[in-house]
Amino acid sequence: MALKEYRDSGHCRYSRERRNDLSIHTKRNYRQVRQSLSPRFDRSSRRCTYEQGHDFRTRDRQLIRRPSFRSTSTAATVDNDDDIEEESNNEYCSGGYHPVKIGDRFANSRYIAIHKLGWGHFSTVWLIRDQLHGRYYAMKVVKSAKHYSETALDEIKMLEKITHTSPSSVGARFVTDIADHFMVDGPNGRHVCMTFQVLGENLLALIKRYDHRGIPVPLVKQIAKQMLLGLDYLHRQCGIIHTDLKPENVLMYLENVEDLIRDNLDKKQDQHRRIRHHSSGRGSHVLPSDPLGCSLTQDRNKPMSNIHIKIADLGNACWLDKHFTEDIQTRQYRSPEVIFGGKWDAGADIWSLACMIFELLTGSYLFDPQKDRSFSRDDDHLAQMIELVGPMRPEFALSGKRSREFFDCHGYLRHIRRLRYWNLEDVLYDKYSFSRKDARAIASFLLPMLQFERRATAGDLLHHSWLEDTAPKLTG
Bridge partners, 141 (sequence order): 124, 193
CA-based max dimension of the chain: 69
Beta strand 318-319 with 240-241 is: antiparallel
Tell whether the torsion through CA atoms of 100, 104, 109 and 113 is positive or negative: positive
Angle between helices 436-446 and 347-362 (to 10 degrees): 160
Dihedral sign for Cα atoms in the order 80, 84, 90, 96: negative
- Residue 27 neighbours by CB under 8 Å, 6+ apart: 422, 426, 430
Do the bridges between strand 136-142 and strand 189-196 make them parallel or antiparallel, or are there none, so unpaired?
antiparallel
CA 282 to each of CA 116, 194, 270, 285, 469: distance values in angstroms, whole numbers, following the listed order: 17, 28, 18, 8, 57
> What span, in angstroms and rounded, lies between the C-alpha atoms of 216 and 327?
34
Catalytic position from the list 21, 232, 244, 379: 244
Axis-axis angle for helices 257-267, 269-281 (nearest 10): 70
140 known ligand binder? yes
Asked if residues 41 and 21 have their Cβ atoms less than 8 Å apart, the reply is yes
The DSSP secondary structure of 45-70, one letter per residue, reads TTEEEEEES--TT---GGGS---TTG
Buried-exposed string 230-268: b where 16+ CB fall within 10 A, e elsewhere = bbbbbbbebbbbbbbbbbbbbbbbbeebeebbeebbeeb
- Per the annotation, the verdict on 244 as an active-site residue is yes
The DSSP symbol for 250 reads E
- Per DSSP, the three-state class of 33 is helix
Q: Which of 440, 343, 316, 330 is nearest to 401 (CA)?
A: 343
Q: Is 112 exposed, middle or buried (0-12, 13-18, 19+ CB in 10 A)?
A: middle
Which residues are known binding-site members for ATP? 140
- Looking at the annotation, which residues are catalytic? 244
Task: Please enumerate, by residue number, every residue annotated as part of a binding site.
Answer: 140
